[in-house]
Amino acid sequence: MSLTKAILSEADRTFTARFEKHYDELKWLYCELYQDVPDPMEHLVSLVSGMHAYYNERKPSLKESDLRREADPDWYKRNDLYGMMLYVNCFSETLKGLEEKLDYISECNVNYLHLMPLLASPKGRSDGGYAVADFRQVQPDLGTMDDFSRVADKCHERGINIALDFVMNHTSEDHEWAKRARAGEREYQDRYFFFDTFDIPAMYEKTCPQVFPTTAPGNFTWLEDCRKHVMTTFYPYQWDLNYRNPEVLNEMVFNMLYLANRGVDIIRLDAVPYIWKQLGTNCRNLPQVHTIVRMMRIICEIVCPGVLMLGEVVMAPDKVAPYFGTPEKPECHMLYNVTTMASTWNTVATRDAGLLKRQLDILASLPRTYIFQNYLRCHDDIGWGLDYDYLSAFGIEEGAHKKYLNDYLTGKWPDSFSRGELYNDDPRLRDARLCGTTASLVGVERFGFEGNRAGVDRGVTYDITLHAFMMSQSGIPVLYSGDEIGMLNDYSYKKDPDKAADSRYLHRGDFRWDLAERRNEEGTVQYRLFHALDKLAHIRAAHSVFEAEVPFRTLDTWDQSTLALVRENDEEKFIGIYNFSEFDRVAWINEEDGIYTDLISGREMEARGVQIPAFGCYWLLRKK
């Protein structure tokens, strides 16, 4: 009897059925990836036996949810998921504190809560929690793993799904493996990329670009104590894991399954394009990355099929969609809609919706089974991964254009309402990125400080319009915590030596509960935003036309600052119209099919030559 048969003889019918469905493919992929390893089957068998152990350990309520979701595989593709991402320390200090704040989360209509990294991570060398020292321990300031499981249970009782990062490209230098590697244990050095001399690192440096050119230059770090170079694509304290070693893959899969068993519904695969390194390449998006992601998907389908994989693929537009895999061999369930996000801010700075329209046209041509996570802001900077091949046809040169965007959005232009800050400004490449909260980028900060009420009003209108645009895109909308009350930039990070060099902390400030209190005080910024977003969320959930698999297309508006987006199913036709300019405009659309109702204002109108106020929007709907 083979070892896998021995495992299966102990397994229940559910596990066996899932296993039999997928094992052949898993075996092929694993043995192909590890063909140079002496006995790949031995490693595969220990992977499978671990999978079985995690399946057995999974608690009944999670197994029930797996079965329900297996029977309804489109459960996340409808119009009823609405997300928010937040840092527990900023929002509620601790996980126990979060339990007490769940009413607020529900009041925001949120049923998909992304808790930013909360696992053990050394203070001052944590990259916002993205340098994990122990995948099975919660950062002690935030609570314990039991607290986490309890919050997850409480969320599940309310119908809230939990997303958590799985930081798989690297560990902290304080992780046990790293410590043992540093102490000279060969087995652990082989889990990372260790080199005695700089010869090979120098060869990597020739083709491998830098992620943090200013805050963490280079892709390697010299370890004086053990006199070796270690690969560190991100910060020097984040050591890249070597997935050529099957032990690394197996152990990291077990860490992922451990977290899934604590109640995580959505696993965010952090920095996934970077996980396979190869000399002579840029070490991003290599075919082996897709093999690993596909294997992880299979592993989840066998052990915990209710769990979704969200890929963090912040890459050029053509590199993103391949992470969905194919319909027969899917990889991630969901991906960030990073190009639309960046193109939106490009439109804000230029008032020209052309590139954004083109981006939506590209998305519209993708299979409807691809589910994107839409967002305006997140914890990271805005990188200008725009379609410069397309823009160059209009004489737009990448360096100069990025400079314009950054100058505009940091308020350097006299007419700019934005108050952003640069991030990793690399003068050599002219490639700075941008930080700031939505409200600060759309004028609420500048005009608030200037005491200009009309300006603030206009900023709030724009803030609502951008959210309406984001929420009408195909996929799952995710709010950045604080945006629902128009939180502004928080400059206090500059006084904290652990944060001062990383301007992403500009938009990672403590949640302002004092401002949230004002969400029911009429006339306040918080009131206007909170209730507008609440209304949009209700509208979205009430109309089937917002389901992710409903086709969409753009319309020509013959006006460069307006964008019109149509979504249509058998029951309804929706037209979202957005004005990205400070002037009233006319969207010269001509849909000759009767009277529409603007779901936001209740006004009735034809979808022809639509006049649209400065920075305003319409959500027109017609029942069929």
DSSP line for 30-51: HHHHTTTSS-HHHHHHHHHHHH
Q: Measured from the CB of residue 595, what is the shortest distance to ligand GLC in angstroms?
A: 45
- CB within 8 Å of 262: residues ≥ 6 apart: 145, 148, 149, 152
Between CA 527 and CA 515 the distance in angstroms is: 10
CB of 38 to ligand GLC, least distance (A): 32
At its nearest, how many Å lie between ligand GLC and the CB of residue 553? 31
Which lies closer to ligand GLC via its Cβ, residue 436 or residue 576? 436
Shortest CA distance to 591 belongs to which of 619, 566, 560, 617?
Answer: 566
Residue written as tokens 């002037």?
583
Q: Smallest Cα–Cα separation from 319: which of 330, 307, 335, 306?
A: 335
* Residue number, 252 or 563, with CB nearest to ligand GLC: 252
Does position 128 interact with ligand GLC (CB under 6 A)? The reply is yes
Which one of the spans 122-130, 186-194, 331-339, 572-580 is the region binding ligand GLC (CB under 6 A)? 122-130
| Shortest CB 432 distance to ligand GLC, Å | 16
Using rule CB under 6 A, residue 251 touches ligand GLC = no
> Which is closer to ligand GLC, CB of 312 or CB of 445?
312
Region of 127-135, 156-164, 483-491, 588-596 interacting with ligand GLC (CB under 6 A): 127-135
With CB under 6 A as the contact rule, the residue among 167, 223, 264, 355 that binds ligand GLC is 167
CB of 471 to ligand GLC, least distance (A): 22
Instruction: Name the E strands within 121-263.
Output: 134-138, 161-167, 170-172, 194-195, 220-223, 228-231, 238-240
Smallest distance from the beta carbon of 83 to ligand GLC, in angstroms? Answer: 15
Closest CB to ligand GLC among residues 320, 485 = 320
Residue nearer to ligand GLC on the CB measure, 315 or 617: 315
Using CB under 6 A as the binding rule, the residues of this chain from 557 to 596 that contact ligand GLC are: none
Q: Quick one: 304 exposed, middle or buried, by C-beta within 10 A (0-12, 13-18, 19+)?
A: buried
Among 270, 301, 445, 463, binds ligand GLC (CB under 6 A): 270
381 is a contact residue toward ligand GLC (CB under 6 A): no
By C-beta, is 128 or 322 nearer to ligand GLC?
128
Task: Rank residues 273 and 576 by Cβ distance to ligand GLC and give the closer one.
Answer: 273
- Nearest to ligand GLC of 265, 312 (CB atom): 312
* 315 contact partners, CB below 8 Å, separation of at least 6: 273, 284, 285, 338, 385
Q: CB-wise, 167 or 529, nearer to ligand GLC?
A: 167
Q: Which is nearer to ligand GLC, 26 or 283 (CB)?
A: 283
Q: Which residues contact 512 (CB under 8 A, 6 or more apart)?
A: 482, 485, 487
Q: How far apart are CB 275 and ligand GLC at their closest, in Å? A: 11
Q: Is 234 an interacting residue with respect to ligand GLC (CB under 6 A)?
A: yes
Residue type (1 letter), 430: R
β-pair type (308-311, 334-336): parallel
**270 a catalytic residue:** yes
Looking at beta carbons, which residue is closest to ligand GLC? 130
Stretch that binds ligand GLC, among 125-133, 222-230, 522-530, 589-597 (CB under 6 A): 125-133
Asked whether position 380 contacts ligand GLC by CB under 6 A, the answer is: yes
Name the residue nearer to ligand GLC (CB basis): 128 or 305: 128
SS3 for 588? strand
112: left (phi over 0), alpha (psi -120 to 50) or beta: beta
Per-residue x/- marks for ligand GLC, 293-312, CB under 6 A? -------------------x
Closest distance of CB 516 from ligand GLC, Å: 25
For the record, the structure tokens of 365 come out as: 């041509």
| Contact range with ligand GLC by CB under 6 A, out of 42-50, 126-134, 257-265, 536-544 | 126-134
- Close Cβ partners of 611 (under 8 Å, ≥ 6 residues apart): 584, 585, 586
Beta strands in 1-148 (DSSP E): 83-86, 112-115, 119-120, 134-138
For ligand GLC, which residue of 15, 76, 114, 127 counts as binding (CB under 6 A)?
127
Measuring CA to CA, which residue among 51, 46, 29 is closest to residue 295? 29
Q: Which residue has the tokens 């986490």?
A: 148
- Classify 546 as helix, strand or coil: helix
Least spacing, CB of residue 554 vs ligand GLC, in Å:
29
Contact code string over 311-340 relative to ligand GLC, x by CB under 6 A: -x----------------------------
Which one of 165, 240, 247, 270 is the catalytic residue?
Answer: 270
Q: Which stretch binds ligand GLC (CB under 6 A): 124-132, 196-204, 350-358, 580-588?
A: 124-132
Give the strand pairing for 194-195 and 170-172: unpaired
Catalytic residue of the set 312, 381, 490, 502: 312
Least distance (Å) between residue 129 CB and ligand GLC: 8
Rounded-to-integer distance, Cα 624 and Cα 622, Å: 6
* Residue 265 near ligand GLC by CB under 6 A: no
C-alpha to C-alpha distances, 87 to 24, 95, 128, 282, nearest whole angstrom: 40, 10, 9, 32
Q: Is 241 in the site for ligand GLC (CB under 6 A)?
A: no
Extract the tokens encoding 433: 């990125």
Token pair for 331: 């990889």
CB within 8 A of 488, min separation 6: which ones?
A: 419, 437, 439, 440, 444, 445, 448
Among 271, 529, 545, 548, binds ligand GLC (CB under 6 A): 271
Contacts of 395 (CB under 8 A, 6+ apart): none
C-alpha 585: how far from its chain's center? 33
Cα–Cα distance, 488 to 508 (Å, whole number): 10
Our measurement of the distance from residue 199's CA atom to the centroid of its chain's CA atoms, rounded to an integer in Å, reads 36
Q: Which is nearer to ligand GLC, 112 or 234 (CB)?
A: 234
Write down the least CB distance from residue 529 to ligand GLC, Å: 25
Q: Please report which helix (H) or strand (E) contains residue 458, including its range.
A: helix 453-472
Q: How many binding residues for ligand GLC (CB under 6 A)? A: 10
Catalytic-residue membership of 57: no
Using CB under 6 A, list all residues that contact ligand GLC. Answer: 127-128, 130, 167, 234, 270-271, 312, 379-380
Catalytic residues: 270, 312
